[in-house]
Amino acid sequence: MSYTYTIWFAIAGLLLGHGVVGAAVGGIIGFVLDNLRFSQRRSATPEAGGFVGPLFALLGAVAKSDGRVSEAEIAVAERMMTRMGLSAELRQQAVASFNRGKQPEFDVTPMIDELRQWVGLRRDHAFPVLDVVIETVLAEGNPPPEKMAILRQLAFALRVSDMELMALMAMKGYAWNAGTGGQRGYSRGTGGSGGYVPPTRNTQGPDPYAILGIARDADDRAVKRAYRKLISEHHPDRLGDLPEDMRKRAESRASEINAAYDRIKEERGFK
């Protein structure tokens, strides 16, 4: 921890307070400010590897949520471990966590809360975490409501809106249909999964407007504003010490956002 404020406020207190008492008061004020700054930095910079346990437990729970864990879902988890370049110790932790998440009646809420605390104030870290979970959700194609419910619970905890989640799904080539009840993927008055409309693969490719999270009738200013916001949140240079796989995911998303924006610009004829 840096003691810059402590030193400067102590000097200021010595000069302005004319003695040791002034220096002590200034030093205390500076120390408090240094601690606040240190706490903010810690909350803004997630601990390396701190996501492994809760993330893979959540992946296990997602895989089991529809009653069975498929080979495709196990393959996704194994592929994640390899891509992330986990050490032998972290890989062992990931396997144990995934198996724990598969257990009946496993409660995902504590795991989601741990991921929320790990992400902290870094929304740019929230998207790679969601991206990993989405890959498991989509492992078998159009996802059932149980998987989407966990995904949406995680997104809500990480302060990612339904519209932003829909954009992430669009980057995977899935269209998340809007129900009439105001919740995407659900219909009014169904009382649960009966009116669930799953995200479906878009055979014509990702919708550029869905990727930017805007309606097709949005004006040019709204398009540009949405693009600038998204590209700043998904830029891989902001990710710090995340595993290489998550950095590559961010690079892929940034490319998708740029491609979507270019398609809209070409369609509308603006620069």
Q: pLDDT tens digits, the chain, 271 residues: what are they? A: 556 666 766 677 666 766 777 667 666 776 776 566 545 444 434 444 578 899 999 999 999 999 999 999 999 999 888 888 888 898 999 999 999 999 988 999 999 999 998 888 777 778 888 988 999 999 998 888 999 999 999 999 999 888 888 888 888 878 765 443 334 443 333 344 446 677 777 666 678 888 888 888 888 888 888 888 887 776 666 655 566 666 676 777 778 888 888 888 888 887 7
Amino acid at the residue 31: F
Q: In this structure, what token pair is assigned to residue 146?
A: 């149980």
pLDDT of residue 14: 67
CB proximity list for 183: less than 8 A, separation 6 or greater: 162
At 171, is the secondary structure helix, strand, or coil?
helix
DSSP 6-63: HHHHHHHHHHHHTSHHHHHHHHHHHHHHHHHHHHHHHHHSPPTTTTHHHHHHHHHHHH
* Sequence-ordered list of residues with C-beta below 8 angstroms from that of 83, at least 6 positions apart, any chain: 243, 244, 245, 248
- The pLDDT of residue 192 is 44
Q: Which of 187, 115, 198, 201 is nearest to 149 (CA)?
A: 198
Q: What pLDDT score was predicted for residue 186?
A: 39
Enter the pTM of the model: 0.66
Spatial distance between the Cα atoms of 142 and 226, rounded to a whole number of angstroms:
27
What angle (nearest 5°) sits at the alpha carbon of residue 133, between those of residues 131 and 134?
65
* Closest residue by Cα to residue 77 from 50, 104, 49, 96: 96
Query: What is the residue extent of each domain of the chain?
Result: 4-44, 52-268
